[in-house]
Amino acid sequence: MPFIPDSLRLLIISYYFPPLNLVSSFRLGAFAKYLPTHGIRPTVLTLRWQALPGPDIDLAGAYAWHEPGASDVTEDLHGSRVIRLPRVRTHCQRFIDRTLRLPGLSSCIALLANFGGFFDLELLYAHFAFKRFLRKHLSIAHYDAVIATMAPPEHLRLGAWMNQHTGTPFIADYRDTYDNRIMSTTFRPSWRERLGIDLKRHYHRRWMRRCSLLVSVSRPLLRMLSQELRVGNSVEVRNGYDPDLLEPQTDMIDRRDVRLIYYGQIYPRQMR
């Protein structure tokens, strides 16, 4: 491993991170794996993803909740430090989850939360856990920059908050837009949907006022986000395949047929 100067330190805030088995985890896992090879030692702030036993993996509920007072876990991963906070489902989160199951009331609660700049109510427990940790952690730790990744969007709120209180340069990593429906030329929102999108746009622009660099996965998305969010400095960092997971297949060279494997979702409203 190359020499990593002590003065070059990066904080990454991400709810999604291995071993959570989602596409969004792999991007941040790659950051943690490859940034140290370029002379940067990241510290990743994420959660303790403790898989539950069972033959089938249910992406929404295959990971354990922890009891209040459970300890943080710090580990070294590919030369990066990973701080994992316990997944504690607070009383507030339980109340929100129950409320969101009620027809009619759920949309009203979500809209009220949107007015306050909260857009992913199912993950609020993580946002407040991260913020409580950072209030203590930043009194003894210094970072040269912070990467806050979207989604959930509340990470960007934390990146802007950290820049405001510590002056740490804030890098915003967008894997998607703040609302994918705006990518479609055929989308005709109702007044309620339009209000929700306008609130998202307002808060994302507000957070981006403190952003030093915008990062996204493709040039078209980066161009659109730069215009939408009014951020001047931007850079493309694509998703890619981990060479350690794929064996080279030289017999595929010069073949007439090509096999394309797509891992993810296609949303009808994003199709132009």
* Host H or E run for residue 238: none
pLDDT band at 69 (very low <50, low <70, confident <90, very high): confident
Residue 41 vs residues 9, 11, 77, 122, 143: alpha-carbon distances, Å? 6, 9, 11, 31, 10
pLDDT band at 178 (very low <50, low <70, confident <90, very high): confident
Which comes out higher in pLDDT, residue 245 or 149?
149
Query: Could you tell me whether strands 80-85 and 145-150 are parallel, antiparallel, or unpaired per DSSP bridges?
Result: unpaired
pLDDT at 124 over 70: yes
pLDDT at 199 over 60: yes
Tally Cβ neighbours within 10 Å of residue 253. Answer: 7
Ramachandran sector of residue 214 (left: φ over 0; alpha: ψ -120 to 50; beta: rest): beta
Q: Report the sign of the C-alpha dihedral through residues 117, 184, 147, 130, in that order.
A: positive
pLDDT band at 87 (very low <50, low <70, confident <90, very high): very high
pLDDT band at 238 (very low <50, low <70, confident <90, very high): confident
Question: Coil, strand or helix: which one is 32?
Answer: helix
Helices within 35-151 (DSSP H only): 91-99, 105-115, 124-137
The closest of 168, 172, 171, 173 to 144, measured between CA atoms, is 168
Residue 98 vs residues 65, 91, 95, 117, 220: alpha-carbon distances, Å? 17, 11, 5, 21, 39
Nearest-angstrom CA–CA distance, 222 and 25: 20
Percent of residues, the chain, with pLDDT higher than 70: 85
pTM of the model: 0.83
Which comes out higher in pLDDT, residue 190 or 13?
13
State pLDDT tens for residues 37-59: 888 889 999 999 988 776 555 45
Mean pLDDT of 198-205: 93
Which comes out higher in pLDDT, residue 83 or 20?
83
pLDDT at 271 over 50: no
